[in-house]
Structure 1
């Protein structure tokens, strides 16, 4: 990115990963947990997504990490005391310029003080001001498990949740309530103060491959990795949606509902059951098996002649469209060994025959399956011009979610 004169060199990484937090100002409040050492990289992850980051530290946190480290990490002077500049008001007064106060890590001591309205450190003064002004606050606990399990600590956490304060983690391991991973914290922040274009929407996604049993050991499957589906689920979650993903992999993100399936029939049944609960859009990105067999109940001995008799699987999209005509449906069309003209022709035929609102086409012999990047064409019902996009699957998910947001907005206006 172009360098700005007199800009701190650490800011040269701004928006190198995404622009999900572009224009947002985050105050990272650090307290006296050993997990404070994680905050250098955490701050830089926010900057990589476009945010401006400022750090405020308690005296105890300075015993663990030098303020110079956070000056380097954020590119801004670190606040270690409240001065005549009234920094807490500058950032979190009614006219304050910050979008979020993130207390990470938060000790039991700091949690108790915030819950009681005590502000005897720069961090707790910032918290009292932000809460009083109704500004977003997120807290990431880190302490020994016995401290976390203390009734007063649990009561304080529940009390603050009642005020609308979000908590991320902790992760209980080795007798310690460890700070949540940076990826989980960043995702939580993106959801809290990011685009929010899908807030209040319910999104159902199918992802990856299915597997059909030959016998108790062997399966028939395909090369689909589920990376695109995972990125779509993450992007929908960032934008505030209520997200469910149906797959045979594991995403492991708190807040995203996962339904695990194995076969094409199980995936179809799971999707139809979920749609009955009321969803705004189904994104069918899974590579669902077209054929299945009657599996042997016992392992077929090695070396024996093997003949398999295939039968067609049910068509998830057609069943979903018939049962739930009001739901917006986005399909995917993967082909191999065809030219662009033929790919788009086949994708449009599927779009029309299956009653889809949008279809994403790609030619997988040139990459895509299992890779971290892809080249896709989005085709719309209703005659809108096709849109081609290529790059990382996270970038493609971002573009697709922009288009899906448009679909749902047009639905609301009907």
Structure 2
């Protein structure tokens, strides 16, 4: 990216990953937990997504990590005391310029002070001001598990949650209430202060491959990795949607509902059952098996002759369209070894025969399945021209969610 004169070199990475936090100012409040060492990389992850980051530290945090490290990480002077600049008001007064106060890590001591309205450190002074002004605050606790389980600590957490403040984590491992992973923290922050174009919408996504059993050990499956479905789920969640993903894999993101299925029949049944819960959109990105077999109950011995008799599976999108005509359905059409004209012809045919609102076509013999990037064409059910998108699956999911947002907005206006 072009360098700006006198810009701190750290900021040369700004927006390197995305622009999900473009124009947002985050104050990262660091307290005296050993997990403070994680905040250097956390700050930089926010910057890579376009945010401006400022750090405020308690004295105890300075025993763990030198303020110079966070100066380097953020590109801004670190606030270690409240001065005549009244920094807490500058950022979180009624006219303050910050969008979020993120207390990470938050110790048991700091949680108790926030709950009691005590502000005897720069961090708690920032918290008192932000909460009093009704500004967004998120807290990422980190401490020993025994401390976390103290009745007063748990009461303080519930009290603070009652003020509408979100907590991220902790992860209970090795007798420690560990700070949440950076990816999880970043995602929750994106959902809180990012673009909320899908707030109030329910989105159901199928992802990855299915697996048809031959016997208790062997399966028939395909090369689909589920990367596209995961990126779609993450992007929908960032934008405020209520998201459910149906797949064989494990995403493990707090806030995204997962339904685990193996076979095509299991996935179809799970989706149809879930759609009864008033979803707005079904994104059928899974590579669902077209054929299945009657599996042997016992393992087939190695070296024996083997004949398999296939039978077709049910068509999820056709059943979903028939049972839930009000739901917007986006399908995927993957082909291999065909030219562009034939790919688009087949995708258009599926779009029409299945009653889809949109279909994503891609030729996967060279890229797409199992890779981190793809080249797709979006085909619409109306008169709009096809849209070609090439790039990372994260970029593609962003474009698709823009299109789905427009689709739902048009529906709401009807």
Q: Match for residue 221 of structure 1?
A: 221
Q: Match for residue 137 of structure 1?
A: 137
Q: Match for residue 17 of structure 1?
A: 17
User: Distance between the aligned counterparts of 1:142 and 1:218, measured in 2?
Assistant: 43
Q: Match for residue 354 of structure 1?
A: 354
Q: Match for residue 395 of structure 1?
A: 395
Q: CA deviation at 1:279?
A: 0.2
Q: CA deviation at 1:304?
A: 1.1
Deviation string 1:99-139 (CA, Å, 9 cap, x unpaired) is 00000000000000001000000000000000000000000
Q: Match for residue 52 of structure 2?
A: 52
Give matches, 1:235-246, under 5 Å. Answer: 235-246=235-246
User: Distance between the aligned counterparts of 2:175 and 2:247, measured in 1?
Assistant: 32
Deviation string 1:269-300 (CA, Å, 9 cap, x unpaired) is 00000000110000000000000011111111
User: Distance between the aligned counterparts of 1:124 and 1:268, measured in 2?
Assistant: 51
Q: Match for residue 200 of structure 1?
A: 200
Q: Match for residue 373 of structure 2?
A: 373
Q: Match for residue 261 of structure 2?
A: 261
User: Distance between the aligned counterparts of 2:300 and 2:147, measured in 1?
Assistant: 55
Q: Match for residue 278 of structure 1?
A: 278
Q: Match for residue 311 of structure 1?
A: 311
Q: CA deviation at 1:366?
A: 1.6
User: Distance between the aligned counterparts of 1:390 and 1:160, measured in 2?
Assistant: 45
Range moving further from structure 2, 294-303 or 138-147: 294-303
Q: Match for residue 382 of structure 1?
A: 382
User: Distance between the aligned counterparts of 1:81 and 1:382, measured in 2?
Assistant: 59
User: Distance between the aligned counterparts of 2:298 and 2:27, measured in 1?
Assistant: 60
User: Distance between the aligned counterparts of 1:22 and 1:283, measured in 2?
Assistant: 27
Helix, strand or coil at the partner of 1:203:
strand
Helix, strand or coil at the partner of 2:400:
helix
User: Distance between the aligned counterparts of 1:233 and 1:74, measured in 2?
Assistant: 29
Q: Match for residue 72 of structure 2?
A: 72
Q: CA deviation at 1:399?
A: 0.7
Q: CA deviation at 1:47?
A: 0.1
Deviation string 1:70-92 (CA, Å, 9 cap, x unpaired) is 00000000000111111000000
Deviation string 1:304-346 (CA, Å, 9 cap, x unpaired) is 1111111110000000000000000000000000011111111
User: Distance between the aligned counterparts of 2:26 and 2:164, measured in 1?
Assistant: 18
Helix, strand or coil at the partner of 2:189:
helix
Long gaps (5+) in structure 1 = none
User: Distance between the aligned counterparts of 1:256 and 1:152, measured in 2?
Assistant: 30
Question: Deviation above 4 Å: which 4+ runs of structure 1?
Answer: none
User: Distance between the aligned counterparts of 1:312 and 1:171, measured in 2?
Assistant: 44
User: Distance between the aligned counterparts of 2:53 and 2:134, measured in 1?
Assistant: 20
User: Distance between the aligned counterparts of 1:157 and 1:308, measured in 2?
Assistant: 58
User: Distance between the aligned counterparts of 1:217 and 1:88, measured in 2?
Assistant: 61
Instruction: Return the TM-score normalized by structure 1.
Output: 1.00
Q: Match for residue 320 of structure 1?
A: 320
Q: CA deviation at 1:257?
A: 0.4
Q: Alignment length, in residue pairs?
A: 414
Q: CA deviation at 1:302?
A: 1.1
User: Distance between the aligned counterparts of 1:176 and 1:298, measured in 2?
Assistant: 44
Give matches, 1:45-124, under 5 Å. Answer: 45-124=45-124
Q: Match for residue 410 of structure 2?
A: 410
Helix, strand or coil at the partner of 1:61:
helix
User: Distance between the aligned counterparts of 1:372 and 1:203, measured in 2?
Assistant: 23
User: Distance between the aligned counterparts of 1:366 and 1:216, measured in 2?
Assistant: 33
User: Distance between the aligned counterparts of 2:5 and 2:20, measured in 1?
Assistant: 25
